[in-house]
Structure 1
Amino acid sequence: MGAKTFKTLDEQIDILKGKGLVIDDIEYTKNIILRENYFFLMGYRHLFMSSDNPKLFLEGTTFKELYSLFYFDRQLRNIMFKNILIIENNTKSIFSYVLSQKYGYRESDYLRNINYNQSPDKIRQVNDLLKKMKRQIRVNGGQHEATKHYINNYGYIPLWVVVKVLSFGITSELYTILKPNDQREVAKYYDVEPENLMQFLPILSNYRNLCAHEDILFEHRTQKVIPDNIYHDNLNIPKINDEYIYGKGDLFSVVIIFKYLLSKDDFRLLMAELSYEIDALSGKLEVVSIDKVLAKMGFPINYKSLLDME
Structure 2
Amino acid sequence: MAEKKFKNLSEQIEIMKSKGLIINDEEDAKVILLRENYFFINGYRYIFMKSKNDKKFVSGATFDELYALFTFDRRFRNIIFKNVLIIENNIKSVISYQLSKKYGYRDKDYLRPESFSLDRKKSRQVNDLIHKMKRQVRVNGQKHSATMHYINNYGYVPLWILVKVLSFGIISEMYSILKPEDQLVIADYYDLDIHVLENYLALLSNYRNLCAHEDILFDNKTQRFIDDTKYHKCLDIPTMDGEYIYGKNDLFALIIILKQMLSDEEFRLLIYEIGYELDILDGKVESIPQSKILDAMGFPENFRDIVKIEGDIKL
User: TM-score if structure 1 supplies the norm length?
Assistant: 0.96
Report the counterpart of residue 10 of structure 2 in structure 1. Answer: 10
Measure how far apart 1:52 and its partner are: 8.3
What is the CA-CA distance between 1:265 and the residue it aligns to? 0.8
- Distance between the aligned counterparts of 2:2 and 2:251, measured in 1? 36
Secondary structure of the residue aligned to 1:279 is helix
SS of corresponding position for 1:122? helix
Distance 1:52 1:84 in 2: 32
Mapped partners of 1:256, 1:52: distance in 2:
29
5 Å-filtered alignment, 1:241-252, equals 241-252=241-252
Give 1:141 deviation, angstroms: 4.3
**Contact 1:141-1:165 at 8 Å conserved across structures:** no
Q: How many Å separate the matches in 2 of 1:169 and 1:64?
A: 37
Contact 1:137 1:166 in 2 (8 A): no
Number of aligned residues = 310
What CA deviation, in whole Å up to 9, does each residue of 1:76-117 have, x standing for no partner? Answer: 100000000000000001111110011001111011101111
Q: Which residue is 2:305 aligned to?
A: 305
Q: Distance in 1 between matches of 2:291 and 2:101?
A: 49
| Contact in 1 for aligned 2:23/2:63 (Cα 8 Å) | yes
Which residue type is aligned with residue 257 of structure 1? Answer: I
The answer to whether 1:237 aligns with 2:221 is no
Q: Do the aligned residues in 2 keep the contact of 1:172 with 1:201 (CA within 8 Å)?
A: yes
Distance of 2:181 and 2:272 partners within structure 1: 37
Task: Please name the residue that 1:198 is paired with.
Answer: 198
Structure 1 unaligned residues grouped into runs of 5+: none
Matches of residues 19-30 of structure 1 in structure 2 within 5 Å? 19-30=19-30
Q: Return the alpha-carbon distance in structure 1 between the equivalents of residues 256 and 264 of structure 2.
A: 13
For the Cα contact (< 8 Å) 1:122–1:177, is it kept in 2?
yes
Moved over 6 A (4+): none
SS at match of 2:299: coil
1:264 aligns with 2:258: no
CA distance in 1 between partners of 2:141 and 2:23 (Å): 50
SS at match of 1:287: coil
Equivalent residue for 1:76?
Answer: 76
Tell me the distance in 2 between the aligned counterparts of 1:196 and 1:264. Answer: 20
1:211 counterpart residue number: 211
SS in 1 for 2:31: helix
**Alpha-carbon distance in structure 2 between the residues aligned to 1:140 and 1:204:** 24
Distance in 2, Cα, partners of 1:138 & 1:240: 52
Q: Which amino acid aligns with 1:167?
A: S
CA distance in 2, matches of 1:4, 1:226: 37
1:123 aligns with 2:96: no
Question: What is the SS of the residue equivalent to 2:44?
Answer: coil
Alignment partners' CA distance in 2, 1:53 and 1:238: 26
Query: Distance in 1 between the 2:227 and 2:50 partners?
Result: 35
Structure-2 separation of matches of 1:238 and 1:52: 23
1:43–1:161 distance in 2 versus 1, CA, 3 Å: same
Counterpart residue type for residue 156 of structure 1 = Y
How far, CA to CA, are the matches of 1:247 and 1:187 in structure 2? Answer: 21
1:225 is aligned to 2:219: no
- Alignment partner, residue 145 of structure 2: 145
Change (3 A) 1:140 1:223: farther
CA deviations 1:55-84 (Å, max 9, x no partner) are 221121100011111111101100000000
- 1:254 maps to a residue whose letter is L
Distance in 1 between residues matched to 2:35 and 2:70, nearest whole Å: 13
Percentage of identical aligned residues: 59
Q: How well do the aligned residues superpose, as a CA RMSD in angstroms?
A: 1.4
Q: TM-score when scaled to structure 2?
A: 0.95
Unpaired segments ≥5 residues, structure 2: 311-315
